[in-house]
Amino acid sequence: MGKKILFIIPDGIGIRNYLYSDLFSKLHEEGVQIYLLHNLESRIIDYVKEEKNIPFGEEPLRKVRETRFQQFLRETSTYGRLKYNADLKQNPTILTNWFKIKNNPIKRAFQKITEIAGNTISSYEGIKYLEETNRLKWKRNPAFDGFKSDLSRIQPDFIFITHQRVSNLEPLCLAASDLNIPTLTAIFSWDNLPKARLPLRTDWYAVWSDYMKVEMSDYYPEIPQNKVVVVGTPQFDFHFNKDLIQSREEFANEFGLDVSKKWVLFSGDDELTSPHDPAYLEDVAHALEDNSDVTILFRQVPVCTVARYQKILDQFDNIVHIPPKWKKGEHWMSFYPLFDDVKLLMNLCFHCEFSVNIGSTIGLDFSYFEKPTVFLAYDAIHDGEWTTDTVYQFQHFKSFMGMDAVVFAKEKTQLKQLLEQLLQKPEDFATQKGKWRDKIASNRPDNLSSTQISKLLITLLENESIFRETELIN
């Protein structure tokens, strides 16, 4: 074919979901040239080339500076969208995604101005007007001409943006449109759409499921449904690769575990999502400490250190720390997973009896192995600012409304009894977790997401007229 696809990879998540999946292999087999623009360090790129052994060109993504007025337009429209979405779904927790700046008076004052301005937006048309005004500003920003120059030099036939959350990629999308290069972005996570995290516009949008496609229609009615394509998400493809599973003995030897015991995974959250996470780990450890046949395996969220949990880890003998196999670069955007972490997560799902956490996506990961997940739904510490009552009203959790999809631990006093019951008969709990999973993600063992995405890209490359047509296979 000889066509070239330009992949935009702003951070390490794109490595796991795309570079480690079979997508590049499938495209390479079809004769597609692959080129990357990225925010990754050279050692990360070298590692990926060695791991996948697929040739591709690459260079750093252009640095972009947003003007203060553009920031005002973007944040005002974002607040307006959050307010609109909260009203649309009658769910005030959507507004909790407007994170308050506390430690910088100047930034806090600027944010307050955007809040006030966002509150004056009286219609959805007003939100779109601000966003379109910002796009016009981007066309006058030096980044627009810079990206046009980059794209003219690279000469891609198609551009794939591996996630939609980076606002500074909007001038690249505008430059591509000027050069008649079609673009597609993938919606990164199952919770992103209600949170107004689509600051750029492309020609096509890749989503996880029909459920997410309906969400796109709800939150972005101006985007035609025939431009939204269901392709699953590559992050779950690995769960179908049985070659990645270690024997129980191998896994136990690697981490110093007793193979005769049952293992339970406690997966940590970041401090914003769950500020009292160490207290929850302590509760679970107390609940299981009298059961000598159980070990808790603790995995912190990959981009955070273990420091805030260390006191608990030192206190309890029934917890074994199994850290994520990620590497840290010079800044947040250069955190990236080793391929060994893909295997580690899969083996945790396979070998543990169930997982325990505060609303983590790992609940979906465990469902691929027919294992239940416990969502802790009581307040371990009452601080007046954060409560699980709010957390589990978040819009993305509405996806399992009416289903027996997860196990809710609603009382600390009942936690010990609940966990013991789960250990005895895990199959009796979360009996509809598979139904929930299939609603959220369209991955199947005979139709992997990497296969769906490669077929979509090949279709678009081979039928350039589809770019401007109104229908697409889906």
CA-CA distance, 474 to 265, in Å (whole number)?
37
Amino acid at 165: R
For the packed helices 105-119 and 68-89, what is the interaxial angle rounded to 10 degrees?
50
| CB distance 187 to 205 below 8 Å | yes
**Residue 192's pLDDT band (boundaries 50, 70, 90)?**
very high
Quickly count: other Cβ atoms within 10 Å of residue 254's Cβ: 12
Average predicted confidence (pLDDT) for the chain: 93
The three-class DSSP label of residue 380 is: coil
pLDDT value of position 98? 94
What pLDDT sits at residue 468? 47
> How far is 71 from 74, CA to CA, in rounded Å?
5
Q: Whole-angstrom Cα distance, residue 259 to residue 280?
A: 25
Contact between 240 and 342 under an 8 Å Cβ cutoff? The reply is: no
Residues 6+ apart with CB under 8 A from 6: 35, 36, 37, 151, 154, 156, 158, 159, 160
The answer to whether residue 147 scores a pLDDT higher than 50 is yes
Please answer whether residues 114 and 75 qualify as being in contact, where contact means their C-beta atoms are separated by less than 8 angstroms.
yes
Give the domains, in start order, of the chain with CATH numbers: 4-65+141-233+445-468 (3.40.50.2000), 68-135 (no CATH), 238-440 (3.40.50.2000)
Q: What is the mean pLDDT of residues 54-64?
A: 92
288 SS3 class: helix
What sections of 179-237 are H helices per DSSP? 210-219
Nearest CA-CA partner of 354 in 249, 425, 445, 280: 425
Q: Please, are residues 349 and 365 in contact by the beta-carbon 8 Å criterion?
A: yes
Instruction: State residue 1's pLDDT score.
Output: 53
- pLDDT-based confidence at 412, cuts 50/70/90? very high
Does residue 32 carry a pLDDT above 80? yes
Which H or E run contains 46?
Answer: helix 42-52
Q: How far apart are CA 251 and CA 256, in angstroms?
A: 8
Model confidence at 474, in pLDDT bands (50, 70, 90)? very low
> Is pLDDT above 80 for 263?
yes
CA distance 417 to 372: 16
* Pair 23, 30: CB distance under 8 Å: no
pLDDT of residue 471: 46
Q: What is the Cα Rg of the chain in Å?
A: 23
Helix (H) or strand (E) holding 295: strand 294-299
pLDDT band at 473 (very low <50, low <70, confident <90, very high): very low
- Length of the chain, please? 474
Residue 125 CA to residue 131 CA, distance in Å, equals 10
- Compute the distance between CA of residue 318 and CA of residue 340 in angstroms, rounded to an integer: 25
Could you give the 3-state DSSP secondary structure of residue 102?
A: coil
Q: Alpha helices, DSSP H only, in 62-159?
A: 68-89, 105-119, 124-139, 142-154
What was the pLDDT predicted at 466? 55
Sign for the CA dihedral angle at 209, 5, 163, 468 comes to negative
Question: Does the structure show a pLDDT above 60 at 332?
Answer: no
For residue 167, what pLDDT is reported? 92
Pairwise CA distance, residues 36 & 366, whole Å: 32
Residue 107, phi then psi, degrees to nearest 5: -65, -35
